[in-house]
Chain A
Amino acid sequence: MNQWRNFIKGFIKENPVFVLFLGMCPTLGTTSSAINGIGMGLATTFVLVLSNVFISLTARFIPDKVRIPSYIVIIASFVTVVDLIMKAYTNTPGPNGEPSLYDNLGLFIPLIVVNCIVLGRAEAFASKNSVFSSFIDGFGIGLGFTFALFILGSVREILGSGTFLYPALNFKFIKGDGMLAFVLAPGAFLALGYLIAIMNIVKKRFAK
């Protein structure tokens, strides 16, 4: 398989959020800001790449009937590793006591284990393909997921709080509060719905 196409498919053609509708729980839960979206996406990418590589290496030794529990144990281990590393190195609060990245995402990190994207790629791709293809696949799907979370997070942050990439970029577009609904769960569904509609238009254009 052409590795470039294998890599790029995660962004549009097989984007886990906009097209495959996998991993909706972290998608809706963590995207209240762009930074949170990127953080969650990158943590998932890390787990996805590692588990894809490891599973494509070991799949041929794992008997068919116990493959799902084995994959889950492997994925859970990588997630715990990410959790420990993030707890150690991304747990510094901001200058004005803003919650750290770990404070914001901590709750969702263990949920990567049950993220259908990770097990889905292990089952559908990594167990049947070479190590290198699986690595590229995990990387592409992971970055596609990050890209989707970043877009959704940006839309919600701009509309909901009037900031963008806060606290890295510290300015506000509007005075006072934004449209609070977009920071809350209903806004996540609304924004996601419109983004999927836009994505469908984009995909149709590409297909022509």
Chain B
Amino acid sequence: MAKKESTFLSMVLTLFLVTLGASAALGYVYELTKDAIADAESAKKSLAVKRVVPEFNNNPTEEFIKIPAETEGDTLYFYVARMNDDTVGYAIETYSKKAFGGLLKLLVGLKPDGTINNVAVLEHKETPGLGTKMTEEKFSSQFPDKNPAKFILKVKKDGGDVDAITASTITSRAYCDAVQRAFSAYTETQTEKGGMK
């Protein structure tokens, strides 16, 4: 195939047309998938909320309270789950920055008395096959129905009650740290305001 001559005009024009076409196409696809992406994100969150709190019939992802975390600029989100106006639990979006891959985000479901109902992992950058075992039952089943007031949220190596994941002590520590952060924030709001409505 004959090569086209590269003149200044033809080069400028070609690059202009290529980038114009590319941005037009991308804008179109973005518009097309915008709603589906937003739906997938919110479905993901409400699915996680559903897994961590007892049965509810309100819409917790729209009914939430922001609690500032101890470090500047970070926020914990409390999603309130209700069944016919009775509060059945809170899903607390919490985090730990001590994880092996940096940030670990969990959703911790607490019953009104502070007992852990269930924990879901929202976001992590842990090593596949090692740290990712935190989603497996062997580790995660230690938390439901425990009250962190009595159940010490530390790995056994550090004098706590949690069995760490084999070869992933750092991830296990971060997991405990995140759950503890959610529980501390919860008890704080309870004592400060005399219970949340």
Contact = CB atoms under 8 A, between A and B. Distances in A.
Given A92-B44, A97-B120, A160 B129 contact: yes
B48 A84 contact: no
A85 B29 CA distance: 8
B14 A70 contact: yes
Contacts of B36: 88-89
B131 to A, nearest CB: 11
B5 interface: yes
A73 B18 contact: yes
B33 A96 contact: no
Contact of A60 (B4, B10, B127): B4
* Most B Cβ at <10 Å: residue of A70, A160, A178: A70
A88 B33 CA distance: 6
B98 interface: no
Interface in B14-43: 14-15, 18-19, 22, 25-26, 29-30, 33, 36-37, 40-41, 43
Contact of A73 (B19, B33, B128, B166): B19
Dominant secondary structure of chain B at its interface with chain A: helix
A97 B118 CA distance: 12
Contacts of B166: 177
B30 A63 contact: no
* Most B Cβ at <10 Å: residue of A63, A73, A80, A91: A63
Is the interface on chain B under 10, 10 to 19, 20 to 34, or 35 or more residues?
35 or more
Is the interface on chain A under 10, 10 to 19, 20 to 34, or 35 or more residues?
35 or more
A118 interface: no
A166 to B, nearest CB: 11
Interface of A: 32-33, 59-66, 69-70, 73-74, 76-77, 80-81, 84-85, 87-89, 91-93, 96-100, 104, 127-128, 160-161, 177-178, 180, 183-184
Given A77-B26, A180-B129, 10 more contacts: A64-B3, A64-B5, A66-B11, A69-B15, A70-B14, A70-B18, A89-B36, A91-B37, A180-B167, A184-B127
Q: Which 8 pairs of residues, A with B, have the shortest CB-CB distance?
A: A183-B129, A88-B36, A65-B6, A63-B6, A77-B22, A91-B40, A32-B128, A88-B33
